[in-house]
Structure 1
């Protein structure tokens, strides 16, 4: 410790410090462990599909009953209310441009 006078903490001071450290650790744990823990998640899948006679369109929803003809390229997962509308229409020009921008961007 070196020369000079040193203050030895009391039992109460040590307990207060310990409680502060525990609170900080709990907050850090809550912040880091929240990933995909919400009960209110939404997911949009961007898929590549092989064009075949089995590919069917129902309104603006495409159905491909052969799973080998579908490849998921991106999953966009977000908490409801944090991004846009849950009733997103991926056929809109604005959304198409945003998807294209994400695809062409470099990974972090």
Structure 2
């Protein structure tokens, strides 16, 4: 079953655009690791928040991706851009009206 990780990342004041640029850098390794979708968004109503929606082939694939050296490096590089405010949900996708 598909695994979803949908959340928010608090950006340090004035760092939202830099965080978005960092999160949207091309990564073929994510697809190779089982990432089906990784979308990054913003809202004018929450200027210091970045929204991330991820779909993975499984929860295990998501967990394993966190051990990749490139992902570890990306997380480390993003730390100075983050405020420490995080939120979100993780769940198993059970269906969609867009797929049979």
Alignment TM-score, normalising by the size of structure 1:
0.21
Task: Point out the structure with the larger strand share.
Answer: 2
Higher relative contact order structure (alpha carbons within 8 Å, sequence separation ≥ 6): 2
The alignment's TM-score, normalised by the length of structure 2, stands at 0.22
